[in-house]
Amino acid sequence: MMMVCSSSLATVMLMGGEEETPAPTTSAGPAAGPAAGPTGDEEGGVGGHEWIFKPLTKIAGGAILKSIDNSSTAECKQECIKNEACVGFKRKTTGTKTCVLYSGDVSTFGDMSRHSYLLTRV
């Protein structure tokens, strides 16, 4: 019978267990199909703008600038960047996928049906 200490098991799980040697890859050129691209939910900055993704949160405070129905995260980000007053937006994760752009002093709090994206202009 093998006994494992729970702290040892937790350590192995956190460390990811054994490493596997990656298989060599070859380049198949353009016929290989499209590469996986960003989903729009990543943090990071492009063109002097930095986004902070806050999953399962809603924006509170500030003023509503605009509401956009049936929009992608990328579309909401572009609309916010275009509006100098925009400091972020919240986006529904179900239904119409509406995003609401905000200006002013905002904060976030938990909401199971939305994600928040806060914009920092650098």
**Residue 94: its pLDDT value, please?**
86
**Per-residue model confidence as pLDDT tens digits over 45-79:** 557 899 999 999 999 999 999 999 999 999 999 99
The whole-angstrom separation of Cα 74 and Cα 17 is 36
Q: Is the pLDDT of residue 37 over 50?
A: no
Q: Is the pLDDT of residue 22 over 90?
A: no
**Residue 48: its pLDDT value, please?**
86
β strands within the chain, DSSP E: 44-46, 49-54, 57-68, 86-92, 99-110, 114-121
Please report the domains of the chain, with CATH numbers, ordered by start residue: 45-121 (3.50.4.10)
